[in-house]
Amino acid sequence: MHPKWIDWSQKLAAEAQSGLAYTQNPFDRAHYEAIARIAFEMQAAAMTPDSDIEAILELHRDERGYATPKVDVRGVVFDEEGRLLLVRELKDGGFTLPGGWVDVGDRPGEAAEREIREETGYLTRASKLLAVWDRRLHGHPPEARFHIYKIFIRCDLVGGEARDSIETADARFFAEDDIPKLTLSLPRTTPSQISRLFEHYRNPEMPADFD
């Protein structure tokens, strides 16, 4: 499916969700629910030809209120040698910056610190916002389910040691020259993003990037 269809299905689903948040009219609610299901069918087709529409519905079942993008935070940790911390994602075997969805109640910096601790075993302190990027614009494979903003936060290493988690393994530091040899988890982290983060490391006075 053409990526534009993914954008259209996300916008259609968002309009339906926002409509359901505000209308009290049963007739309108039935129409918004029908529109949402059509959008989810489009998303299922965009993901794989045999995707389960009910699984897509389940992902969105708890989405309520005015529809907004979801937020994915990534922790950016360099060691004293200027190497970048990456972790292997068990789901696809690729390496990625540690991170994930921001939990309700978390401050962005707290979310980055938590994700690093849970996925790598290292303890860090959030120190600088490096980038806020729209996932659609940075070389990731198309994501049919959600519109996503990605936040990259520099975190300083303060302790801990590498350990595996239920979702990740092989946390270790890589020099910039090592990155092209790696298989990256492209749904989560791209080569161009990592290259830009090394630029931020070399030039700490650079302002944060944003789309």
Q: 102 and 11, same structural domain?
A: no
Question: Is residue 120 a contact partner of residue 88, using CB atoms and an 8 Å limit?
Answer: no
Top-confidence residue, 80 or 13:
80
Q: 136 and 198, same structural domain?
A: yes
Residue 131's DSSP bridge partners are 152, 209
Residue found under tokens 């090592």? 178
Predicted local distance difference test score (pLDDT) of residue 49: 57
Find the helix or strand (DSSP H, E) in which 195 lies.
Answer: helix 191-202
CB atoms within 10 A of CB 182: 15
Band (62; pLDDT cuts 50, 70, 90):
low
**pLDDT at residue 159 is higher than 80:** yes
Q: 80 and 51, same structural domain?
A: no
Strand-pair category, 122-134 with 209-210:
parallel
Percentage of the residues of the chain whose pLDDT score is greater than 70:
91
Q: Which residue type occupies 68?
A: T
Percentage of the residues of the chain whose pLDDT score is greater than 90:
62
Q: Domain span at residue 116?
A: 70-210
**pLDDT at residue 56 is higher than 80:** no
Structural domain tally of the chain? 2
Over the stretch 22-34, which tens digit does the pLDDT of each residue have? 888 888 888 888 8
Residue 134's DSSP bridge partners are 149
Q: 97 and 79, same structural domain?
A: yes
Over the stretch 123-136, which tens digit does the pLDDT of each residue have? 999 999 999 999 99
**pLDDT at residue 2 is higher than 80:** no
Q: How many CA atoms lie within 13 A of 33 on its CB side?
A: 9
Q: 55 and 81, same structural domain?
A: no
Does any domain span residue 120?
A: yes
203 Rama class: left (phi>0) / alpha (psi -120 to 50) / beta: beta
Residue found under tokens 């970048």? 84
Does any domain span residue 65?
A: no
**pLDDT at residue 137 is higher than 70:** yes
Find the helix or strand (DSSP H, E) in which 131 lies.
Answer: strand 122-134
The secondary structure of residue 180, as a DSSP letter, is G
pLDDT (mean) for 79-96: 97
Q: 147 and 53, same structural domain?
A: no
- CATH no. for residue 88? 3.90.79.10
pLDDT (mean) for 92-116: 95
Band (19; pLDDT cuts 50, 70, 90):
confident
Predicted local distance difference test score (pLDDT) of residue 3: 66
